[in-house]
Every structure is written in structure tokens, then in C-alpha cells.
Structure 1
Amino acid sequence: MLLFVAYQLWYTNIVAERAADGAAGTLQQTWQRDAGTDPGGAAAPPVTAFEPGQGFAILHIPKLDVKVPVAEGISKPKVLDRGMVGHYAEGALKTAMPADEQGNFAVAGHRNTHGEPFRYINRLVPGDPVVVETRDAYYTYEMTSALAQTPPTNVAVIKPVPEGSGFTGPGRYITLTTCTPEFTSTYRMIVWGRMTDERPRGEGPPPALTS
């Protein structure tokens, strides 16, 4: 029993963090290759669809020292248990992408074990930045509100205008979801943010990542 607990609390984090770091490095190398070394070269065409489990972005939460790949879908074996954050992208749970003109980019991540990228999102306060880095751009969001506990069945929290967020109309939003209390999956904790800046990748990282 003690060995199993050690595996869950320690070893799964090591394995998942290695996998996530490798995925983040691969993404950045691919983006660099797509951009090319010739400033006058033609840009690679935009990519708007991804396969389940495919990484397509990197999520930065500077206050928490979080840098984690984002993959399509919220499958535990393909995404979450590999230390990545998953984009709600299927069926009735399908949410927007950061580049969309309107909508809610909603993602899920483990709070404990398997890299636990969202362990401390309860420490975020209004005004804290969250940055989504993609092949083409950086999208900066400002944390606006949170919901400490809600049932897993409450999917209204990831609607285009998420219920309970305080947002009253269409916009460009982000939603972070994770399990709570710690070491359980009884409820969900929700953090919301509003996009405040979008800049092409060629202009370099936003102040939230450099200051």
C-alpha cells in the first residue's frame, strides 16, 4: 500500500513532467521550423483542427511557474495522465480556440498526481495573467473570477459565456477546470479569465512572460 501511494504521489509526477516537458520542447521546435530562418519566406498556413491527443499550444501561468502543453481533448490516458492540459473539444463540450473572434477556450488539468499542473490554481487572484502560446501568436488573459466548488455535471461553466463567471455577454474568455478537494474528483474548481492582449509570435513574448 505504501508503495502504491508513493507511485501515485511521486512517480506519476516525474513521468508526466518528463512527458510534458518533451511535448513542449517538440512543439516549440516544430513552430520554429515552420517559421523558417528566412524572414522573407512564406508563412506556414494556419492550422485550425487537431487530432485527439495532439499538442497545439503551451499554457503559461507565471505566478505559479506553470508551463504546460495543451492537447486536444480531455482523455485521461492520451492527455491528462501525460501531464498535459486538455482542451474541451468534443461534442456538447466543444469550446472555442484562442484565435476565435469570440468564445471560451476551456481546458482541464490534474490537480494532483500526473504532473499536477493545476494544483495551485486556487492561488490565482483577479489580475493575474495566463498566457496561451501557439505557433502563430501569444494570447494573454487576465484572471477575473473563480468558483471554488461545483459538481462535475455543471458544464455551464464552459459555455461561450460561462455561467457563474460574471461575464454578461460574448467575449474572448478562458476557463481552467480541475478536481477538488485535493486527491479527490468529487467536485470541480473553476477559474475564469478575459483576453487582454493578442500579439503575433514574431513580435516576441508578451510582458507577462518577460517581466
Structure 2
Amino acid sequence: MTTLAPSAPAEGRAARRRAAQEAAKRSRRRGGGRRRRRPRSGGPLVVASRLAGELFITLGLVMLLFVAYQLWYTNVLAERTANGAAGSLRKDWEQPAPDGAAAPPVTAFEPGQGFAILYIPKLDVKVPVAEGISKPKVLDKGMVGHYGEGALKTAMPADKQGNFAVAGHRNTHGEPFRFINRLVPGDPIVVETRDAYYTYEMTSALPQTPPSNVSVLKPVPQGSGFTSAGRYITLTTCTPEFTSTFRMIVWGRMIDERPRSQGAPPALTSP
């Protein structure tokens, strides 16, 4: 009987396939057992730089919020307080005396107490005047402060002669005196009190002087051009804008006084 046996080449191919399969299995086993390395996130310097960047971004945001508060929100708060104070003053002035008689004139006020309203029609300014120039009690509340204490004490509008001197912020906190540099000779400035309206006419200005120059507050203020006693007004504020390095001064001379019972002066009623 004749039998058929597999040829040699066929056996070689089968052996090679089995060898290849075994090699692939070994390769997969070796690869599956290896741990994959995670990508490195960086050294200490990289981490520190990232933290510094985040810190600077946070500080920048805080600074922006602070600037917005100073330049915008302090004005909102101060104007709200000042408007309330002006309304309260006028309400008090309208109240009759208990016995129906005219109330005696008041010549002295407590620090921080409002006693008048200042108008600058050209600048659309209407702001309460309080006693003293304290920042927290007066100026930062959007009011104008009267130099009425110690060596800087100045006259009141009702005084028959003297210099009624006041201070106000030029920037932030209501900034009532921001644009007083725009006043020119002849522009009216009006002070209203419980008893009367006092109208002044702007006469001159001093664009810049050191804070130590208190001679601008004298009864006859130096540098104003006035040479004899009279009834004057002095407005003071900081300059340049957003600094307190120097002071800007504006002076005026009283040209009219009328009782409140006669109504507002033409400076407040004329179009």
C-alpha cells in the first residue's frame, strides 16, 4: 500500500507560523507588564512661576476693583449723603419757631454740622457746607468744609467783613470742586443759609500754591488782589487732579445779600 507523507516545505511553514505566534504572545506579555510613565508636570520653578502668575492676576483684579471704588462708588455714596444733608437743612429751615417768632441767628456750629448750601450755577454745583474740614466727618461725605477752627478760623457769610473760606474735594467723594478751574471773573457763587442768600462774584484765582500757604485764608487774602477789608469768599481744593501736592484757590467778592423770605437771587433763577 502506498502512503502519502507531508512534504518538508509544508512542515517548515507551519513551524515558522507557530514561532511567530509564540513570539507575538511573548511580546504582548512583556508590553502589558510595563508601567506607563506619566508626563512630568514640571519642576519647582515651573510650579512657582504658575503660582506667581495667578497671584499677579488676582492682585490686578483687586486693584481694578479699588480704582472703580475710588473713582466711581465713592462719588455715588458721597452724592447720596450730600443730597440728603441738603434736603435736611432746607427742611429744618422751613420749620417755624415754636412760639411763632423768628429764630435768632446762629453764629457757631459743631464740627461736622451742616449750616449752609453752596451753589456754583456755571458748574451745576449744589453742595452742603459743614463746619470744619475733617476728611471723615465732612469732605469724604461729599460736603464742603468751612475753615472755622483754631488758627485757620475764617469768617461766616453773615459777618459784616471777613473771608468765608471753604474746602472741597476735587476728585472722588462727590468731587464738588473738580471744575472750579473753569470759573472766570464775573461768575456767581451763592451761599444759602437759614436766614439769607449771599451772592459772590468770582474775581481771581491762584492755580497752584503749597498747602502751607495759609495766607490765602486771611481776612484780606494774599494774592487775591484785594487790598482792603471786605466780604470775601475763598474756595480751596487739591491740584493737580488725583493728587494732594498743591492747592488751587478761587476768590470772590460779595455783591448781594437778601433774606430768604425774598426768594432766590437772580443768579439761581436766571436761565
Shorter-chain TM-score bucket reads over 0.9
- Residue type of the alignment partner of 2:213: N
Paired residues for 1:1-211 under 5 Å: 1-34=63-96, 41-211=100-270
- Residue type of the alignment partner of 1:48: T
Task: Determine the C-alpha separation between the residues in 2 that align with 1:49 and 1:121.
Answer: 27
- 1:42, CA displacement in angstroms? 1.3
Task: Determine the C-alpha separation between the residues in 1 that align with 2:70 and 2:212.
Answer: 26
Kindly provide the CA deviation profile for residues 146-181 of structure 1, in whole angstroms up to 9, marking residues without a partner as x: 000000000000100000000000000000000000
- Residue type of the alignment partner of 2:161: Q
Task: Determine the C-alpha separation between the residues in 1 that align with 2:264 and 2:90.
Answer: 13
Task: Determine the C-alpha separation between the residues in 2 that align with 1:53 and 1:209.
Answer: 26
Count residues in correspondence.
Answer: 208
Quickly say closer, same or farther: Cα 1:34–1:181, change in 2 above 3 A. farther
- 1:34, CA displacement in angstroms? 3.6
Question: Which runs of 5 or more residues in structure 1 are unaligned?
Answer: none
The structure that is helix-richer by fraction is 2
Bigger Rg over Cα: 2
Task: Determine the C-alpha separation between the residues in 1 that align with 2:108 and 2:153.
Answer: 12
- 1:35, CA displacement in angstroms? 6.4
Kindly provide the CA deviation profile for residues 101-157 of structure 1, in whole angstroms up to 9, marking residues without a partner as x: 000000000000000000000000000000000000000000000000000000000
Structure 1 runs, 4 residues or longer, greater than 2 Å off: none
The structure that is strand-richer by fraction is 1
Q: Helix, strand or coil for the counterpart of 2:189?
A: strand
- 1:52, CA displacement in angstroms? 0.1
Scaled by the length of structure 2, the TM-score of the pair is 0.76
CA RMSD of aligned residues (A): 1.1
